[in-house]
Amino acid sequence: MRPVRLMKVFITRRIPPEGIAALSRAADCEVEQWDSDEPIPDKELERGLAGAHGLLCLLSDRVDKRLLDAAGANLKVISTMSVGVDHLALDEIKKRENARWLVITSICPHVHRSGYTPDVLTDTTAELAVSLLLTTCRRLPEAIEEVKNGGWTSWKPLWMCGYGLTQSTVGIIGLGRIGQAIARRLKPFGVQKFLYTGRQPRPEEAAEFQAEFVSVPQLAAQSDFIVVTCSLTPATRGLCNKDVFQKMKKTAVFVNISRGDVVNQDDLYQALASGQIAAAGLDVTTPEPLPTNHPLLTLKNCVILPHIGSATYRTRNTMSLLAANNLLAGLRGEPMPSELKL
């Protein structure tokens, strides 16, 4: 009997146990992993990927022309443990004709014979977005610090007052799966009106919240809370800039859980420092991690989290398993649970 030819798979980081277990059980694969929780150095990534048939990467791994050249002609499947694909040079990948290129985003929704399978991080990220919004608008980090440093003395009528959601207008930039999940969670707080903006109206999705489609300037001017959930594209890069912040209410709270590059952070700093807007909550920044001497970190009215939108044990394990199954299916020429069509 002819021996089975092993396909080399390279994983760029330690991933949660369910994903690595699925790959380790694959008798037709030889798995190599960068055994660290920290990002793999460029030279090590090039070395590890050389001759590989499959790559399992993270959103922090830039897959560009240089890396694709280093990989060689064997590489035919890229599986990313992320919902976004802005770290993949898709135009460069499309040029490659020496392999069956299958670029897979592991967290997209998909339909197959057994029906619809929902994306795995929508609910987790929506929970985090609502948590970040509430933490920011009610000034919780400031309040905790006041308890620790002795600032909490007698009760004062306006001390540590923030802004509530009841009877408010919430604007959502990008009413996709996560945007809808956020609106669904905010509605019971007594939000009076939802606005949204994007490439085009989405009447079916908006109907659940009676959300109104408006332009970005209109959304900025009318919203008490703005939540950014759109994808990073050439059209959205730098979308939230001084023009947007100048149109916002002085009492408005701005939250970004999409990608750091959607926001001009210098403009955001000026808006916060000058009191042009009330507060901001960010789960994403540029760069990541944000340098500890960054001006935004000096502001009491800016809450910054280390990109933890999908950070629950269940979600991260499910992400890793889906990424592994995508990779294996692609290598074996089988239908993938979630394939990005180029």
Is 307 an annotated catalytic residue? yes
C-alpha torsion 293→299→302→308, nearest 10: 30
Sheet with 253-256: list strands edge to edge: 212-213, 193-197, 169-173, 225-228, 253-256, 279-282, 302-304
Q: Name the H helices within 138-274.
A: 140-149, 177-186, 203-207, 216-222, 242-247, 265-273
How far apart are the C-alpha atoms of 253 and 136, rounded to whole Å?
8
Are 327 and 81 in contact by the 8 Å Cβ rule? The answer is no
Choosing from 53, 112, 294, 307, the catalytic residue is 307
**Element spanning 280, H or E:** strand 279-282
DSSP 164-200: --TT-EEEEE--SHHHHHHHHHHGGGT--EEEEESSS
Are 22 and 324 in contact by the 8 Å Cβ rule? The answer is yes
Catalytically active residues, by annotation:
307
